[in-house]
Structure 1
Amino acid sequence: MAISVQMPALGESVTEGTVTRWLKQEGDTVEQDEPLLEVSTDKVDTEIPSPAAGVLKKIVAQEDDTVEVGGELAVI
């Protein structure tokens, strides 16, 4: 079953974030809550954890891409 990894809301006024670095690559096995990538906003830099255990099937947002809150980052 494919699970979408989405950009979370990182603050009340934050509407988007920029992917700064992927910590995992396509094909990697990931555990739930394991950090997948780093994102940067105008207020905070943070890691986005995996919502589920599985295999990282597809990276949708590449490094330096800006993604709106709720936008798809990857598929597990």
Structure 2
Amino acid sequence: MEKITLYSKTGCGQCVFLKRYLDSKGLNYLEKNVEDESYLEEVRELNCQSLPVVLIGQSAPVVGFQPDVIERLISQC
């Protein structure tokens, strides 16, 4: 399994749904809360303007709660 990185923010509903989804699948992920300016800058460098943002391995960023896309990317790992 490739490394999963989740960019989130406290109080973000879609972020909460995505964390619950990843947890329900038993997937390990590194969460980076963008309230830390360095993580916010990483999101900007990815050219993403909304949250959550998920990186799975070398895939393009997945923005928002998109379990179907995440499932596809995980199955390709």
Same fold (TM over 0.5): no
**What TM-score range do you get, normalising by the shorter chain?**
under 0.3
TM (norm. structure 2) is 0.26
More strand by share: 1
